[in-house]
Amino acid sequence: MTVPTPAPAPASAAPVLEAVDVVRTFGATRALDGVSVRVEAGRSIGIVGESGSGKSTLLRQLLALDTPTSGEVRYRGEPVTRRDRGLLRRLRADVQPVFQDPRSSLDPRMRVGAVVAEPLRSLKVPGDHRARVAEVLASVGLDPDTAARYPAQFSGGQRQRIAIARALAPRPSVLVADEPVSALDVSVRGQVVDLLQRLAAEHGLTLVLVSHDIAIVGRLCERTVVLHHGRVVEEGPTGALLADPQEAYTRRLLAAVPQLPGA
């Protein structure tokens, strides 16, 4: 497994996204318990843990889709609140998600061109939307003629490429991928991981990868945060963490997952 090597980052640089001592409760359940995570510009970070560890809840906080019970989420150093519509609009344009299952995240009633152009319309991005759709479809390895067809006419891997193209359309600086290959056949998972790696390098993207599969995080991410029962139990450079995990829980995650084809 080739682990990305972290490049030195300016100590004074403010993170693009940051969770600061975030707590999120649902009744008596403490889904997040004092979680702090920094997402630095141009870097890649993996957030790993089993189902129920708090990964999806943390993702919703970072995407400003939910509000912490206590603590704070910051975007480029500014606290994110639902009342600050201007800040939320900038965050929505700059931070784009790729969800787990493209079958449910792509509207089957819309042609692919309309699906990919959706964030351009909703964010009122100026310019030639049709040309931008063709450009991002080509960047993910799909023929621009794909735009005239419907999502159901494509394989799972192709649909995830369409979802990635949609996320890239408004030219975000941050891509947040939530279990981006777990719904795909094993034979195409490696292809999508390679695609994400290439796009991040070509576009200088900041990448946040949420996964239960620590092997995939090892392929894509410079740093890794391990969540367990809503708390950060281990974090650090991915290579060091995989080579010498300090927590029994991290060792269990590492032992439980198979290697990707070609890993």
The CATH number of the domain holding residue 136 is: 3.40.50.300
| 95 in a structural domain | yes
Q: Give the per-residue pLDDT at 4.
A: 67
Does a structural domain hold residue 238? Answer: yes
Using the structure block, give the residue that is written with the tokens 């998600």.
97
User: DSSP state, 40?
Assistant: -
| pLDDT above 60: residue 34 | yes
33-47, 80-94, 177-191: segment of lowest average pLDDT: 177-191
50 within a domain of the structure (yes/no):
yes
> For residue 169, what are the β-bridge partners?
none
Going by pLDDT thresholds of 50, 70 and 90, the confidence category of residue 210 is very high
Checking if the pLDDT of 12 tops 50, the result is no
Q: What is the pLDDT of residue 263?
A: 47
Count of domains observed in the chain: 1
Residue 12 lies in a domain: no
Query: Is 151 inside a domain boundary?
Result: yes
Q: Which residue has the tokens 């996320």?
A: 167
% of the chain residues with pLDDT over 90: 74
Mean pLDDT value of segment 53-78: 95
Q: Report how far residue 215's alpha carbon sits from residue 90's, in angstroms, rounded to the nearest whole number.
A: 33
Angle made by CA atoms 160, 109, 161, in degrees to the nearest 5: 10
Region 84-111: what's the mean pLDDT?
91
Please check the confidence at residue 183 and state whether its pLDDT lies above 80: no
Q: Is residue 10 part of a domain?
A: no
Angle at 94 between CA 208 and CA 67, to 5 degrees: 70
Domain contains 9: no
Contacts of 114 (CB under 8 A, 6+ apart): none
Domain extent for 120: 17-256
Mean pLDDT of 149-155: 94
Q: For position 39, what pLDDT does the model report?
A: 96
What is the distance between the alpha carbons of residues 42 and 22, in angstroms, rounded to a whole number? Answer: 23
Per the prediction, the chain carries an average pLDDT of 90
Residue 103 lies in a domain: yes
